[in-house]
Amino acid sequence: MQTRTLGRNGPEVSAIGLGCMGLSYGYGPATDRSEAIALIRAAVEGGVTFFDTAEAYGPFVNEELLGEALAPFRDRVVIATKFGFAGGEVSRGMDSRPAHIREVTEAALKRLRTDRIDLLYQHRVDPSVPIEDVAGAVKDLIAEGKVGHFGLSEAGAATIRRAHAVQPVAALQSEYSLWWREPEKEIIPTLELGIGLVPFSPLGKGFLTGAISETRTFAADDFRNIVPRFSPEARKANQALVDVLGAIAGAKQATPAQIALAWLLARKPWIVPIPGTTKLHRLRENIGAAAVELSAAEMADIERALSGIEIEGDRYPAHLQARVGR
């Protein structure tokens, strides 16, 4: 697989990474541990070198899963994890105090069975802690060799600039896809400072694959149950986007998911999407997107085809959207 560099001096990673949250958290029951380990190791064998987790995914169990799965390949892969929630629990609110960052990092190193975290993100901006203090805490951990690079997640442009002035930010993780293009307004221009973009939910939480109809039901603990964009009415309206993707994919002898990922890769050379999956055939499909090249003419065709489609529904309920873009 092709590789890309995150940030001006950031880590070199596979063009397609693997978001591991869904193996443990957020999308219904956790995947059987042995099956999850097999999937992660299949990703390594398929050329994936970039793996994303967080203490909050579980909490803690996702990091433990990656630690076990990637131990035999540690020097071949780049592991990203995150701090920022009290006790690792989203429901308890944010905590990015420097002392807490250090505690989380020390615990994550043990769970991940490693001596360094390649990329450490602040999961969400904590309005009670100056971002300069957060960046300074991670800078100290980098100086000690416990962390390789600093990242932010869903931060606003002003916060990114302030953090970057203290400790260079290697990557911003944020939602970005054909059905969520908000980062194009302020975030992507800001990242021209020399910061990579790691889109999570690059397949629209599964919707852009074409596998989620308006009648699909989700497990009781599936996050999508509270996402306005996944109401049956919104899904019905947004099917128009999937239909366009399907037509483009058919002409390209690819799948809608592969076109959605290839579109991201073609936007900037420093964009590295991290689609998640629990299924081996979907993993292979996503990896295959790295070989799908879209020309400038094809990108323009996609733009024209999508220009008349208005996406229905907010991407987050209001209480979660309030944490974004600070």
Q: Which residues have a catalytic role annotated?
A: 57
User: What are the beta bridge partners of residue 175?
Assistant: 200
Alpha carbon 226 to chain centroid, angstroms: 19
Q: Residues near 41 by Cβ (< 8 Å), separated by ≥ 6?
A: 69, 72, 73
Q: Are 176 and 266 within 8 A, CB to CB?
A: no
Q: Strand runs (DSSP E) across 143-286, as ranges?
A: 147-153, 169-175, 196-200
CA distance 306 to 303: 5
The CA-atom distances, in angstroms, between 269 and each of 16, 152, 155 are 12, 19, 21
Q: What whole-number distance in Å separates Cα of residue 62 and Cα of residue 55?
A: 7
For residue 121, which phi and psi values (nearest 5 degrees)?
Answer: -100, 145
User: For residues 277 and 283, is the Cβ–Cβ distance under 8 A?
Assistant: yes
Cα 37 to Cα 19: distance, rounded to the nearest angstrom = 14
Tokens standing for 79? 């592991």
10 Å Cβ neighbour count for 324?
Answer: 17
